Amino acid sequence: MKTKHNKINRKQFLKNSILASAGILASSCSRDKQHNAPAIITKKRVRWRMVTTWPANFPVLGEGCNKLAEWVEEMSDGNFTIKVYGSGELAPPLETFDAVSDGSVEMGNGAAYYWGGKMPAAPIFCSIPFGMNAQQMNAWIYGGDGYQLWKDLYAPFDVIPFAGGNTGPQMGGWFNKKMNTVDDFKGLKMRMPGLGGKVIEKLGAAAVVSPGSEIYTNLERGVIDATEWVGPYHDYLMGFYKIAKYYYTPGWHEPGPVLENIINREAWENLPKTYQSILKAASARQNIWSLSVFEAKNNEYLNKIKNSPNVEILRFSQDILDALQKASNEVMEELCAQDTTTKKIYENYLDFKKRITQWNSYAI
């Protein structure tokens, strides 16, 4: 009986697939006959401004915003344009969310952990220490409950989020001293935003939040003793190998951080539906483009760093990683106890992570 049922399901599946393919073909033929129909339904001219947490034209991160603007203009036949401003040009980098929320600008780009002071749950939509990687985060956002939870979180601020990039797995950071034991975190001043910063504070370090444009100078002058940034490609371009000796792995704090495009709700609702679709498509393209470029470049630049005479690439000991994992669990438990929204989102995240990790154990 079970076999018969499976055969029926298979036949129905194949039948539905054939019908769907036929429908697509018919639709395509119909469109071919209507070749005179305009590609863009509306010709309304729209001019937006986009502020970012990154310096203007910053490799991958800033470039991705520029590409988004290019794609939107191209797909709208030049009728929808977005002017991209680097950090500090229209708004301070860490005030990007505020500028979008209050309608000063229509759009911004950054990382959700920068807004953790406004919403304790926000960093979950960027990355959780020892959490999901880039592929899994995309699965949660696009294929799970992640996106709806994200939209609901930002709604009271009149902000609509879209995934707009991912760095992929990161490195553990640059240090001016060897990290031999957990005690080496005591008194350490390290640039580390988001949940990772709360974790190292559990171990006695001082977490410093600063935009990318200030990190090199702060590390060089001793304002901070260590920093995390992204991975070999970016870290090499930032020049950290010139001023810090020890480069640690793995990037336990951000295994697959999502970058985001945020849009003012009123501006979005006033946007023609065609342009909304264009912006969604461009944002999704930016998301995969950013991850692809980082993945393609990181090994090349890791070799450059390996060949730098004054740099040692080291791995955190298992004792340190275990202590960081324990502290990470404590941080999340405390956040969930303090905020019911965080608890709801984190429980959904953990449930999805458990299920997708089980699948990955079979598939990878």
Please tell me the chain's helix, strand, coil percentages from 3-state DSSP, rounded to the nearest 5.
55, 15, 30
Mean pLDDT of 231-240: 96
The pLDDT of residue 151: 98
The pLDDT of residue 193: 85
Query: What is d(CA 272, CA 261) in angstroms, rounded to the nearest whole number?
Result: 18
User: How confident is the model over 120-144, as pLDDT tens digits?
Assistant: 999 999 999 999 999 999 999 999 9
15 pLDDT more than 60:
no
Same domain, 271 and 147: yes
Same domain, 159 and 86: yes
Predicted TM-score (pTM) of this structure: 0.86
User: How confident is the model over 25-59, as pLDDT tens digits?
Assistant: 444 444 444 444 444 566 899 999 999 999 999 99
Query: What is d(CA 80, CA 337) in angstroms, rounded to the nearest whole number?
Result: 45
Choose the weakest-confidence range: 11-15, 171-175, 265-269, 316-320: 11-15
262 pLDDT more than 80:
yes
309 pLDDT more than 80:
yes
Same domain, 118 and 238: no
Same domain, 266 and 331: no
Percentage of the chain beyond pLDDT 70 is: 88
Same domain, 145 and 236: no
Q: What is the DSSP letter of 90?
A: S
User: How confident is the model over 172-185, as pLDDT tens digits?
Assistant: 999 999 999 999 99
Mean pLDDT of 60-70: 97
User: How confident is the model over 78-124, as pLDDT tens digits?
Assistant: 999 999 999 999 999 999 999 999 999 999 999 999 999 999 999 99
Q: Among the residues of 127-252, which ranges form H helices?
A: 134-138, 146-154, 194-202, 212-220, 232-238
14 pLDDT more than 60:
no
User: How confident is the model over 137-167, as pLDDT tens digits?
Assistant: 999 999 999 999 999 999 999 999 999 999 9
The pLDDT of residue 10: 56
CATH of residue 154: 3.40.190.170
The pLDDT of residue 37: 40
Choose the weakest-confidence range: 38-52, 57-71, 335-349: 38-52
The pLDDT of residue 363: 81
The pLDDT of residue 264: 98
Task: Give the count of domains, the chain.
Answer: 2
2 pLDDT more than 90:
no
324 pLDDT more than 90:
yes
Residue 19, in any domain of the structure: no
* Sign (positive or negative) of CA dihedral 118, 139, 343, 204: negative
The pLDDT of residue 33: 43
Same domain, 144 and 154: yes
Mean pLDDT of 220-245: 95
221 sits in which H/E element: none
Residue 235, in any domain of the structure: yes
Same domain, 223 and 279: no
1: Cα separation from own chain's centroid: 48
CATH of residue 326: 3.40.190.10
Same domain, 193 and 291: no
Same domain, 231 and 314: yes
Same domain, 266 and 157: yes
Residue 94 neighbours by CB distance under 10 Å: 17
- With vertex at residue 298, the alpha carbon angle to CA 295 and CA 301, rounded to the nearest 5 degrees, is 155
